[in-house]
Amino acid sequence: MVQTMTTKERHISEESLACTGFNYTLSLISGKYKMTILYTLMEFGVVRFNEMKKYIGTITYKTLSSALKELEADGLVHREEYPQIPPKVEYSLTETGQSLIPILDALCEWGDKHHI
């Protein structure tokens, strides 16, 4: 039996991933460590740079600094610098970054459920 298509049916040839919310979200959180940084800030709130470096462990200072700058530029992370010696810099999630918490929680729950 041949089905006729309605005007409401979507065709992949007429769509573009670049125009989706999924693609936009990935553009903000893609990268080897961005999700890990967001998770760290979700779990611990306000975190200093060196604490985050120690917690993540496998990340280089340069990579951590670069990823934090990108997350800050995208409005997901807030950077607070205190004028003191030695310099003190703390990072936390912005309101927009906090809106990702349910998604991060869902990823954690999925991992807990399916972890072998």
- Structure confidence at residue 6 as a pLDDT band (50, 70, 90): low
- Choose between 59 and 27: higher pLDDT: 59
**Which one-letter DSSP state was computed for residue 88?**
E
If you average pLDDT over residues 24-43, what whole number do you get?
Answer: 91
The pair of three-digit structure tokens given for residue 100, joined into one six-digit string? 């990702």
Reported CATH class of domain 32-114: mainly alpha
C-beta atoms surrounding 36 within 10 Å: 18
- The answer to whether the beta carbons of residues 29 and 93 sit under 8 Å apart is no
Residues 65-101: pLDDT tens digits? 999 999 999 999 999 999 898 889 999 999 999 999 9
Q: pLDDT at position 1, please?
A: 53
Residue type, 56: I
Q: Would you call 70 helix, strand, or coil by DSSP? A: helix
- Residue where the block lists tokens 């950077």: 79
Q: Rounded to the nearest 10 degrees, what angle do helices 21-29 and 34-44 cross at?
A: 80
The pair of three-digit structure tokens given for residue 102, joined into one six-digit string? 């349910």
Q: Please give the mean pLDDT across all residues of the chain.
A: 89
| Domain limits, the chain | 32-114
Query: How far apart are the C-alpha atoms of 33 and 88, rounded to whole Å?
Result: 22
